[in-house]
Structure 1
Amino acid sequence: MANGLRLAGKKDEKIIFFQQFLKHPLQIGSVIPSSPYLERRVLDMAEVRTCKTVVELGSGTGGTTKAILSCLPRDAKLLSIEINPQFHSFVKTIDDPRLIAHLGSAADLGKILAQYNLPNPDAIISGIPFSTMPEELGKRIIQEIARCLAHGGRFVAYQFSSKVSHLCNPVLGPCKKSMEILNIPPMRVYRWEKNGFKPQT
C-alpha cells in the first residue's frame, strides 16, 4: 500500500511539473523532473559528499533536493531556493533538519544566505534555465553566485542550452563539461571552481 502511495505521489509530481511548465515555460527548463542518472552526475560533479553548505537554485518538485540530502553529510545544510510557489510547497514537505526551503529569486542569493546566517556555500547547484531568462537577470545571478561561493567552491549547472557557459566563463573562467543522455531532454552539465572572482565593471 505504501509503495502504491509513493508511486501515485511521483505521478502527481510529474503532472504538476508539466502543468507548471505549460504555465511558466520561460521559468522552467524541462517538461519533466530530472532523471536519477542526471541527479547522480550533478552530485558527483558538485562533490556534495564533502560539503558543509550547499545551495540549490531551482528545486522544482524536490527530486534533486532529496538526492542532495541523500548524500549530504549529517552536519551540513542545504538551502533550496525556488521562485515557483507550487514547487516550493512540495519542497517544504521534505522532513529533514538540514534543509532550508526558501521561496524567492536566485538573484537575491547573498541576502538569502545572510537571512539564514549561512556561510559561503561549498557548492551551488542550478537547474534554472539561463537560456530563457533576460540576459541582464542571468548576468546578475552569475555575479551573485561568483560573489557568494566559497573559495575553491563548485558551481554546477545542468542545462539544455550552452547559454550559461557564455554568461559564466568571463566571471569564473573555463569550465568542465559533460553530457547526460539518460534524461529527457539530454542535459549538459557544467562545473566551475572558484579560484578567483572577476567582478563586472
Structure 2
Amino acid sequence: MAKGKDEWLFAINFVKHPTMLGSVIPSSRWLIRSLLAPVDWERARYFVEYGPGVGTITRHILKRMHPEAKLLVLEINDDFVRHLNSAIDDPRLVVRRDSAASLGTVLDELDWPHIDYAVSGIPFSIMSSEDVEAVLKETRARLPPQGEFLVYQFSRHSAQYLHRSFDDVSREFVLRNVPPVSCYRARSNGGIGPSEAPAPM
C-alpha cells in the first residue's frame, strides 16, 4: 500500500512539475543498486540526499546504513517534505525543506563535521549553470578525501559539470529504468577542482 501511495504522489507531482522530476515513476531497483554500489556502509556515518522525492532511495539508504549513521535529506517540494515526515519513522533521518545549495548552512546548524556520501538525482539539465556550480561547490567542500558524490542523471550533458568539479568521475549506464539513466561516481583528490573538464562520459 505504501508503495502505491508513493507512486501516486510521485505521478501527481510529475504532472505538476515535469521538468523537476524527469520521470513519471520513482527510481527502479536496478538504478538504486548501481547508484549505491560504491558505498562503504560500515565506515560511513554521514549521508545527504538531494531531492529525495517520495523517499524511494531514502528508504534503501536507511535500510543499509549503520545504526549510528545519520541521513539528511534536502527537498524543496512541500508535498514531498510532508510525505517524508509522515511516512518514514526513523530517528536517524533528518528532513529539511532546503535546496542542495544550502548544504553548508544546514550542516553547520546540525553540527555535522562532514558528509561521507552525497546522493542526488536533481536534474542538472534544467538548472542554471550558476545553481549547478553552487551545489557542486557546497558538496565538494563538505566531502572528506574518501567521500563520494553519487549522482544519477537522465541527460548525459550533465556529466560536464561533474568533470569540472571533481577529479575522478566514472559512469555506469542503467537500461532497466524509465527512462534509462546514467549513474555517476565522483571523487576528489583534495584541493581545488580541475580547471578544465575532460570530454563528458
When normalised by structure 2's length, the TM-score is 0.90
Bigger shift: 53-62 or 34-43?
34-43
Task: Indicate the RMSD between aligned Cα atoms, in angstroms.
Answer: 1.7
Unmatched runs of 5 consecutive residues or more in structure 1: 1-5
How many residue pairs are counted as aligned between the two chains?
Answer: 194
- Is residue 16 from structure 1 mapped to residue 16 from structure 2 by the alignment? no
- Contact 1:48–1:68 under 8 Å retained in 2: no
**Which SS does the other structure have where 1:80 is aligned?**
strand
Moved over 4 A (4+): none
- Distance of aligned partners of 1:132 and 1:48 in 2 relative to their CA distance in 1, 3 Å threshold: farther
CA distance in 1, matches of 2:94, 2:19: 25
Which has the higher mean CA deviation after the structures are superposed, 58-67 or 28-37? 28-37
User: Aligned-pair distance for 1:199?
Assistant: 5.7
Query: Bigger CA drift: 39-48 or 59-68?
Result: 39-48
2:147 equivalent among 153, 165, 189: 153
2:56 maps to which residue? 63
Residue 184 of structure 1 deviates from its aligned partner by: 0.9
What residue in structure 2 maps to residue 180 of structure 1? Answer: 174
- Percent identical residues: 36
Contact 2:172 2:183 in 1 (8 A): yes
User: Normalising by the residue count of structure 1, what TM-score does the alignment of the two structures yield?
Assistant: 0.90
2:104 corresponds to which of 103, 110, 125: 110
Residues in 1 aligned to 2:39 and 2:156: alpha-carbon distance in whole angstroms: 18
2:118 aligned to which of 114, 124, 128: 124
> Which consecutive unaligned segments of at least 5 residues does structure 2 have?
196-201
2:22 pairs with 1:37: no
The residue number in structure 1 matching 2:80 is 87
Question: Would you say the 8 A contact 1:171–1:197 is kept in 2?
Answer: no
Structure 1 residue 49 displacement after superposition: 4.5
CA gap of 1:48–1:180, structure 2 versus 1, over 3 A, is farther
Is the counterpart of residue 54 in structure 1 residue 47 in structure 2? yes
